[in-house]
Amino acid sequence: MAEAALDAHEHPETNTGMSNSKLALWVFLGSECLLFGGLISTYLLYRNETNGGPTASDVFEIPFTSVSSFVLLLSSLTMVLALSALRRGDETRNRIWLLTTAMLGAVFVGGQVYEFTAFLREGLGFTTSPFSSAFYTLTGFHGVHVSVGIVMLMSLVVVSLKGDLSKERAETVELIGLYWHFVDVVWIFIFTVVYLTV
C-alpha cells in the first residue's frame, strides 16, 4: 500500500493506513480506559463505606440523573450529525450540530453541578466518607472530561466561523467526536455502576 502510493509520486501513507492523529487518539483513549478503570474500582471498593453519612440510596435521584444521562447520550447523535454534515461539505449544518452537541454537554454538566449541590445540602460533602470522596472524584473526573470536550467543540465552532473548517479537515471533527463518544461510553459505565446498582 505504502509502496503503491510512493510509486504514484504521492506523499507516503502511514503504515497502518490510519492517520497519525487518529491512531494517537485511539492509543490515548486506551490509556483513559485505565484511568477510569482505577477510579471506578476505587468507587466500587468504597460505595458502602459511608462513615455514618448519607448512603447512595439516601441521596441519588435516579429519574433526574436518567434524564441528564439521556441528554449526554443524545449529544453523541448530534456529534455524528455534525461530522456527516461536514463530510457532505455543509459547513453551516456542521456548525449548528457542533453547537448543539456542546450545549447538550453543557446541560449535562449543569445537571451534575445541580446534583452535587443537592447532595451537599443533604449532608454528603467531599470529605464526609470514603464513599463520598470516591463518588465526587469519579463523577468529577468525568465532568472535567465532558467540559474539556465542550471547550474543544466550541473551538471547532470558532475555527469554522473563521472559515477554516472545510470538508478536507473533517478528520479533526471526527477525532474530537471520537473523544466525545468515548466520554459518553464511560458515562454509561459510571451510570450503571454508580446509580443503577444502588
Which residues in this chain contact another protein in the complex, by CB under 8 A? Answer: 2-3, 6, 9, 11-12, 14-16, 18-25, 27-28, 30-32, 34-35, 37-39, 42, 45-46, 49-51, 126-130, 132-134, 137, 144-145, 147-148, 151-152, 155, 169, 171-172, 175-176, 179
- Name which of 65 and 129 has its Cβ closer to another protein: 129
Distance CA 128, CA 22 (A): 42
DSSP 102-141: HHHHHHHHHHHHHHHHHHHHTT--TTS-HHHHHHHHHHHH
Smaller CB distance to another protein: residue 63 or 162?
A: 162
Q: Are 136 and 103 in contact (CB under 8 A)?
A: no
Rounded distance, CA 166 to CA 151, Å? Answer: 20
- Cα(100)–Cα(46) distance, rounded to whole angstroms? 36
- CB nearer to another protein: give 64 or 87: 87
State which residue, 45 or 67, has the beta carbon closest to another protein: 45
- Shortest gap between Cβ of 125 and another protein (angstroms)? 9
- Residue closer to another protein, measured from CB, 27 or 63: 27
Grid cell of 177 as nine digits = 467526536
Pick from 180, 117, 126: nearest CA to 152: 180
Closest approach, Cβ 64 to another protein, in A, equals 25
Min separation Cβ 186 and another protein, Å: 13
Tell the smallest beta-carbon distance from residue 2 to another protein (Å): 6
CB burial of 16-30 (b: ≥16 within 10 Å; e: otherwise) equals eeeeeeeeebeeebe
**Residue 21 beta carbon to another protein: minimum distance, rounded to whole angstroms:** 4
